[in-house]
Structure 1
Amino acid sequence: MARIKNFDKKNKKSKFKKFKENKELLLLTIPGTLWFLVFAYLPMFGIALAFKDWKIHGGFLESLIKSEWVGFNNFKFLFGSSDAWLITRNTVLYNLVFIILGIVLPVTLAILLKELLNKKLSKFYQSSMFLPYFLSWVVVSYCLFTFLSPEKGYINSIITSLGGEKISWYTEPKYWVFIIIFMSQWKGVGYGTVVYLASICGIDKSYFEAAMIDGASKWQQIKYITLPLLKPVLIIMFITAVGGIFRADFGLFYQLPKDSGALYPVTNVIDTYVYRGLINLGNIGMSAAAGLYQSFVGLILILVTNGIVRKVDKENAFF
């Protein structure tokens, strides 16, 4: 018993010592911790809304307690709808494309930027690609409208000047699969590029110097040094992206096509469908059920994907 007590005392002292040594770093984590506590963990109590017929009875807690328990009835809004297959298909397929392009394009651009000898030019390109990330989809949608406006759009002006007929872009679903994918990558590729570029810049230069001495070409350096050392970051980004495969960027699918009903076959996803249902029906429980469904499926996908990665390459697993 005395040995156990001594061990506990030493363990507590070592923990306190580590805390003192890293107190500055721990203090820096406080804002992020508070943010997650307020905006991520406290709202989790609202999960109960997914199983209740929400009615306002005063304050939030009073309404939560007095609202009738309806079990899984709210989930029928998603699964019992005639559009359930359409919105699920659109959400998943778009996200699969976004995951693939969201890795290939940023990694390629990050490698190209790293290889530029003119560093000032490299920073200019980097800033230019990163700028669209800060624009809201509302602003982007109006910029796109100047190009695709059926009457005075820039693209239609070019088409008519070449002897063609104007295209009614906002009533033709066949074009919007490509427009949405292009605009999504245009807006988000800068963020991914910065992440991968930071990782590439962190690679020890001695690896490349040794490879150059051995006569390795640029492609061989990328293939045998850059890409293998990027693997941990690639895996983390891939797993987190898979976790959001049942979620869609609301602004991309709602604001960009101007909520045109003619485009619903290719632009209607789970998030926009739930929003329209909430506006029309005013049922908060249904929207809460959809959010819970997306979060639960995302959690399962992360666990499954991480489990597969852990079996293949244990060192690079997320957890």
Structure 2
Amino acid sequence: MANGQRTYRSEFLREFNKNFPLFLMALPGVVLLIAFCYLPLFGLIIAFKDVHYDVGILKSPWVGLKNFEFLFKTPDAFIITRNTLLYNFAFIVFGNLAAIATAIALSEMRARFMAKFYQSVMFLPYFLSWVVVAYMAFAFLSIDLGILNTMILPKLGLQPIAWYFETKPWPVILILANLWKYTGYNAVIYLAAITGIDPEYYEAALIDGASKWQQIKHITVPLLSPLVVVLVLLGIGRIFYADFGLFYQLPMNSGALFDVTNVIDTYVYRTLMGMNDIGMASAASFYQSIMGFILVLTSNLIVRRLDPEKALF
């Protein structure tokens, strides 16, 4: 055992000395990982305590699972869980399909300047805050001054719509807004993978008389499938988390839309602001993390049984 430990230590030191610049470059990332991902794990105990600010977290009384009971016994528990899961499922499916289609379209453009231009234009929404996007949407959807109600709908012979009081259009609006904001960013990831595909595959297919559609179907898509699986698994891991800005800012926090816009994150925020109960907020986050962890393990197990090479781990 001692000899094995010495051998391992000497190999590590040799590797460390050999790649010291790389270890040095990785140091800031490791420090941030520890500071923001591992040290906060101490805060998990908040979910099981009734936090009193005057005595601190450690001396606050334990309450067991009462914070979780508050979350699950609320009449909104089903609505917020349903909305969170269904919206994220739609984002994963439509988001990846739109990103793959966009990446393939950009890769097939012969004018490289225009391809770069379109790529930059589609990437721009990713940098916009949801606050900015919300007011851009308000310029279209405002009841009195919105472009849709004042210019477009009257010309089509339709009556103005109170968009911020009608629940039916909002599932579509939220999905389209998510696609508009993130498709360009996700397309860049897939475009990088397409760029790495060996051109000889396409040359051989072209010699065999394969059309462009056949090349995409039998070469591009299959070679992208491992990346698709990884991104889908990562998306499933966060399926219990919602984009707070999308569901809070875009609907302008309209109470009439809560049935279709209220998700776990927005519900926790509103409850925390109204009740100042940090224990319940921590319980909800703990619940989200555990369920996401279970879903990632389950999904990865299924993928591993179907195709071990595409599994995440």
- Using the alignment, how far apart are the partners of 2:203 and 2:70 within structure 1? 60
- Shift of residue 142 of structure 1? 0.3
Aligned match of 1:39:
36
CA distance, structure 1, for counterparts of residue 20 and residue 269 of structure 2: 44
Q: Distance in 1 between matches of 2:24 and 2:189?
A: 24
CA spacing shift, 1:164–1:40, aligned 2, 3 Å: same
- The letter of the residue matching 1:214 is D
Matching residue within 253, 258, 261 for 2:247: 253
Question: Does 1:110 pair with 2:98?
Answer: no
Structure 1 partner of 2:190 = 196
* Matching residue's letter, 1:285: G
**Residue aligning to 2:280:** 286
1:230-257 CA deviation, whole Å, 9 max, x = no partner?
1221111010001111111111000000
Letter in structure 2 aligned against 1:23 = F
1:272 pairs, out of 266, 273, 280, with 266
Tell me the distance in 2 between the aligned counterparts of 1:215 and 1:236: 32
Which stretch shifts more, 110-119 or 29-38? 29-38
- Bigger shift: 276-285 or 204-213? 204-213
- For residues 64 and 183 of structure 1, the distance between their equivalents in structure 2, rounded to whole angstroms, comes to 40
Gaps of 5+ in 2: none
2:19 matched to 1:22?
A: yes
- Tell me which residue corresponds to 2:122: 129
**Bigger mean CA offset, 32-41 vs 256-265:** 32-41
2:12 and 2:218 mapped to 1: Cα distance? 40
TM-score by length of 1: 0.94
Match of 1:47, as an amino acid?
L
Residues 152-199 of structure 1 deviation map (CA, whole Å, 9 limit, x = unaligned): 111112112343321110000011111001001100111110010011
Q: Say whether 1:181 aligns with 2:178.
A: no
| Counterpart AA for 1:30 | L
Matches within 5 A, 1:125-274: 125-157=118-150, 158-274=152-268
SS in 2 for 1:168: coil
> What secondary structure does 1:32 align onto?
helix
The code of the aligned residue for 2:72 comes to F
Worse-superposed segment, 32-41 or 250-259 = 32-41
Give the whole-Å Cα distance in 2 for the aligned partners of 1:263 and 1:20. 59
- Deviation, structure 1 residue 31: 2.0
Amino acid in structure 2 at the alignment position of 1:93: L
Q: How far is the alpha carbon of 1:22 from its aligned partner? A: 2.8
Q: 2:82 maps to what in 1?
A: 89
| Aligned-partner residue type, residue 275 of structure 2 | L
Q: Tell whether 2:56 aligns with 1:56.
A: no
CA distance in structure 2 between the aligned counterparts of 1:220 and 1:257, rounded to whole angstroms: 43
Please give the alpha-carbon distance, in whole angstroms, between the structure 2 residues aligned to 1:177 and 1:102: 15
Which AA in structure 2 matches 1:193? A
Letter in 2 for 1:49: I
Q: CA RMSD in A?
A: 1.5
**Which residue identity is paired with 1:55?**
H
CA–CA separation in structure 2 for the residues paired with 1:90 and 1:139: 24
Return 5+ residue gaps in structure 1 as ranges.
none
